[in-house]
Structure formats: C-alpha cells, structure tokens
Structure 1
C-alpha cells in the first residue's frame, strides 16, 4: 500500500481508502461489514471514510465497532456532516454552528474515538453563512475533535472562499471529496486547478462509477440480479445515468486494455483515478471481503501515458466533463 500526503498538510493517507457508504448498516450484515474492514486492514489500508448520514448514523457505529481494538494512532478516520440525521428536525441538517457542534460529538461517540483525522462538509450549505460554518470548524479543530477539515462536492469558487476563511481562522482546509471516474470528470476543468493552487487534495468517491466500470453491465442485457442497479435503496438512482447502451458499449471496449495490463476492469478504473496527481486517495467500498482484496491490487499500478490516451479515445464523448455538474450536488435549500 502506498501513502500520499493530504493536501499541503503533513498527514499521509492510504491511496486506497475504505468507505462504507451504502453498505454498512444497510446492505450487508454487521459481521460481513466487519470482515470487509478486516480485509482492508489486511491489505494495508489505514484510512477509513464514513459519514453521519450513512444509514442514518448506523454506518459510523458499525465502523467504530469494526475498528475497536486497533491502535488509534495507526488509523486515519474520516467522517462528514451536512445531510439530515436523527429525527431530521429543522436543525438536524446543514452546516450551522449548532448542527456542526452536535454532529461532531455524535460522530465521535459512534466511532468510539476522541478525534477524527478529517472532518468534512458533506455539501455546501447555501442557507448558512460560510463564515459561521468555517468558525464552527475552527472551534472543532481547536477543541481537538478533528485534526483537519475538508469538504465534499464544493465548486472551485466555494473551495477558494472556504480556504481563505480557514487560513484567516488558523486552520487548514486540505481536501475535497468529489465523484470522479473515467466516465465522470467534471472536476478536471475548474476544481482540480484551483485545488492544486491552494494545496487541496481530492479524495474521490465512485472511482468505478457505481460498478459500471467493472464491465458487469452490458448493452441490451438484463441488469444482473442483486446488483446495485436493481437496488432502489442501495444506489440504483445514482447509477441510472450511466446505464445507457452507448456508455455500456464503450465500457466493454475497455476490456482489452485491462486484459493487456493484467488487470481487472475495476482495477484499471481505480488505477486511472490514482494517475491524477491531485488525487490523494480513491475510496473503495465492498459488500464482500474478496472485493477489497481484488480492488487493492490497483494500488501502486502505474498507467503509461499511451494507455491513458487510449482510454480517452475508447470512451470518447460519453465522458461527462461539464464543471457545472458540481454545483448541482449541493441543494439550494437544506433537506428535512
């Protein structure tokens, strides 16, 4: 396992990070979730990403239980705040000082730790002044409850504004967590250049495009039984935009590229996002320990420039690149 610096900080995280969105507390039983976490540790993953909203706080508890007994100093634990949690009252969401303060305490309790290494704004809150949010994060850092602060799916302008306020308040904004894959490249035009300039890294989610880049979905074929695309509670709505025959056909054309490199399609997809020098880590999830072991083999894979160019040629115009897509990830009003 290789490790990369997170932004311009001195913190290193494993370039493959284990995430439990859609799995722990919902899709898989707790013993299976624990087995997946053990598999992650076995392959050298030390960085674990979760959020209070995953399974309405249950995912944090499952992860905390699975990591119990591990040396805390040898782990990097990441969580997030923004989306509605608990009974979902008017203040159980967003990035207000009240919700941030209450949420960090709840997350620490469920994760069974005194601090998290990275606390992330899960989306941009258009209804709370940015100054209030960043002051709340500054307090969390000063209290020792989080070492670093990050964001998720913020636009380039939002990252610039947040970074400037963080600097004024004496803490570091070191990361952004966007969706990024061969098929979804909306951060490349604006977010990545701004992040490079500011010393902010990307921790990317969905590097295999919700499973589409594994090649298991074929044009004109029935959706595989039990797959994410058939699970309305487990991400079917998010994968739908990729399930077009033109996209699926181009993905199948990537199979010879993976075969020539001795990689699975998933490993090729993960290695592709790690080829971007602004990416600190790719988040991988799993519903079975074997998936962790398989995907971990993407770590350390170097893709030659000619392979990257060939991938671009194969995928062509099915790739989504519009930077305006990032702004759509944060709703104009908080959801309750």
Structure 2
C-alpha cells in the first residue's frame, strides 16, 4: 500500500480507502462484510470510510465490530453527517448544531472509538447558517471527537466559504469527498482547482462508477444477477445514470487498454483517479474479499500520458464534465 497526505494536514491516508456504502448492514451479510474488512487490512489499507446514514446507522456498527481489536492509532476512520437517521424526525437531519452534536456521539458509540480522524458534512445544508455548522464542527474537534473536518459533494464556492470559516475558527477543513471516475469528471474544472489553491484533497467515491467500469455490464444484455444494478435497496437507482448502451459500449473499449497493461478494468479505473495529484485516496467498496484485493493493487499502476489519452478516446462523449451538476444534484431543502 502507498500513502498520501490528506490536504495540507500532516496526516497520511492509504491511497485506497475501504468504504461500506450500500454493503455493510444492507447488501452484504455481516460475516462477508467483516471478511472484506479483514482483506482490506491484509492489503495494507488503513483508511476506512462510512456514514451514519448508511443502512440507517447499521453500517457504522458493522465497521466498528469488524475493526475491534485493531490498534486504533494505526487506522484512519472517516464518517459523515447530514442525511436523516434513526426515526428521521424533524431534527434528525441536516447540519444544525443539535444534529451534529448528537450524531457524532452516536457515530462514536457505533464505531467503538473515542474519536474519528475525519468528520465530514455529507452534503451542503441550505437551511442552516454555515457559521452554525462550522462552529459546531470546531467544537467537535476541540472536544477531541474528530481530528479533521471534510465535506462531501460541495461546490467550489461552498468549499471556499467553509474553508475560510474553518480557518477563522482554528480548525482544518482538509478534504472533499465527491463522486469521481473516468465517466464522471464534474469536479475537474472548478472543485479541483479551488481545492488545490486551499490545500484540500479529494477522497473520491465510486471510482469504478458503481461497477460499470469493471466491464461486467454489457450493452444489450440484462445486468448480471446479484449485481448492483439489480439491487433494489439503493444500488440500482444510483447506477442507473450509466446503464445505457452508449456508455456500456464505450466502456468495453477500455478492455484492450487494460489488457495491454496486464491489469483488470477495475484496477485501470482506480489507477485513473489516483493519477490526479489532488486525489489523496479512492474509496473502494466490495461484496467479496477478492474484490478488495484486486482493487487495492491499483496503487502499483502508473498510467502514462499515452494511456490517459487512449482512455479519453475510448470513452469519447459519454464522459460527464458539467461542473453545474454538483449543485444540481444537491438537495435544495432538507430531505425531511
């Protein structure tokens, strides 16, 4: 495993990060989930990403149990707050002081730890003053419950505003967690340059486009049984934007590129996001331990300029690069 600094902080994280969205407590049975965590640890992965909303808090519980007994100081554990949890009452959502303070305590209990290394705003909260949110995050850091603060799916302007307030409050906003892959490049024109200026890293989710970039989904054919595209618990909805024949046909053009390099298409996809110097780590999910092992090997892959150009040519106009999609996909109001 290789490691990179997270933003302008002194903390390093593993280049591949194990994430349990759509798997732990939901898509994958607990024994299989724990086997995937063990495979991640054996592969040298030290960074683990989760959120309170995943499986309505169950994913945090499974991860906490899977990591029990490990040396805490050797791990970097990330979690997030924003989406509705628990009974999903009127204050069980958002980035208010009340919800942040209650949520961090719940997350720490479920994760069986006294602190998280990174606490992230899972989305922008249009209904809470940013000053209230950042003051609450500052108090969480000062209480020793989190070392650093991050955000997820914020626009460049929102990141800039949050970073300025964090600096005024004496805390470090060091990361942005956006969707990023060969197919989804909406952060490149605005978010990445802003973050490079501010000393903020990307820790990206869905580098394999929810499995589409593995090449297992073929144009004109039904999705394989048991795949994410058939998962009605949430996976099928998230992957739907890529499930059309134009995209799937273009993805098949990547196979010769991967074959020439002697790597899998998944490794090619993860190596591609890691080629961006503003990316500190790529979050990989898995339903089987061998997937973890396969994806983690991407840290040893270097893609030269000719390969990157060949990837662009293979995908052509199915790549999505519209920077406005970050804001358009954000909730305009709280979900409840």
Do these two structures clear the TM 0.5 threshold for a shared fold by scoring above it?
yes
- For the residue of structure 1 that corresponds to 2:87, the secondary structure is coil
TM alignment of 1:107-186, pairs within 5 A: 107-186=107-186
- For the residue of structure 1 that corresponds to 2:77, the secondary structure is strand
Q: What is residue 330 of structure 1 aligned with on the other side?
A: 330
Question: Separation in 2 of the partners of 1:262 and 1:234?
Answer: 33
Q: What is residue 241 of structure 1 aligned with on the other side?
A: 241
Q: What is residue 95 of structure 1 aligned with on the other side?
A: 95
Q: What is residue 67 of structure 1 aligned with on the other side?
A: 67
Question: Separation in 1 of the partners of 2:238 and 2:286?
Answer: 17
Alpha-carbon offset, residue 232 of structure 1: 1.5
Q: Deviations over 1:284-323 (max 9, x none)?
A: 0110111111111111211011100110111111000000
Question: Separation in 1 of the partners of 2:176 and 2:334?
Answer: 20
Q: Extract unaligned runs of 5+ from structure 1.
A: none
Alpha-carbon offset, residue 131 of structure 1: 0.3
Question: Separation in 2 of the partners of 1:109 and 1:298?
Answer: 33
Residue 254 of structure 2 is aligned to residue 231 of structure 1: no
Q: Deviations over 1:106-141 (max 9, x none)?
A: 000000000000000000000000000000000000
Alpha-carbon offset, residue 223 of structure 1: 1.4
- For the residue of structure 2 that corresponds to 1:119, the secondary structure is strand
Question: Separation in 1 of the partners of 2:141 and 2:222?
Answer: 49
- For the residue of structure 1 that corresponds to 2:211, the secondary structure is helix
Question: Separation in 2 of the partners of 1:175 and 1:244?
Answer: 32
Q: What is residue 279 of structure 2 aligned with on the other side?
A: 279
Q: What is residue 82 of structure 1 aligned with on the other side?
A: 82
Residue 49 of structure 2 is aligned to residue 44 of structure 1: no
Q: What is residue 313 of structure 1 aligned with on the other side?
A: 313
Q: What is residue 10 of structure 1 aligned with on the other side?
A: 10
Select between 296-305 and 60-69 the one with higher mean Cα deviation.
296-305
- For the residue of structure 2 that corresponds to 1:193, the secondary structure is helix
Q: Deviations over 1:80-118 (max 9, x none)?
A: 000000000000000000000000000000000000000
Residue 8 of structure 2 is aligned to residue 35 of structure 1: no
- For the residue of structure 2 that corresponds to 1:299, the secondary structure is helix
TM-score w.r.t. length of structure 1:
0.99
Question: Separation in 2 of the partners of 1:145 and 1:88?
Answer: 24
Alpha-carbon offset, residue 28 of structure 1: 1.0
Alpha-carbon offset, residue 77 of structure 1: 0.3
Q: What is residue 198 of structure 1 aligned with on the other side?
A: 198
Runs of 4+ off more than 4 Å: none
Contact 1:27 1:234 in 2 (8 A): no
Question: Separation in 1 of the partners of 2:235 and 2:288?
Answer: 17
Question: Separation in 2 of the partners of 1:10 and 1:160?
Answer: 21
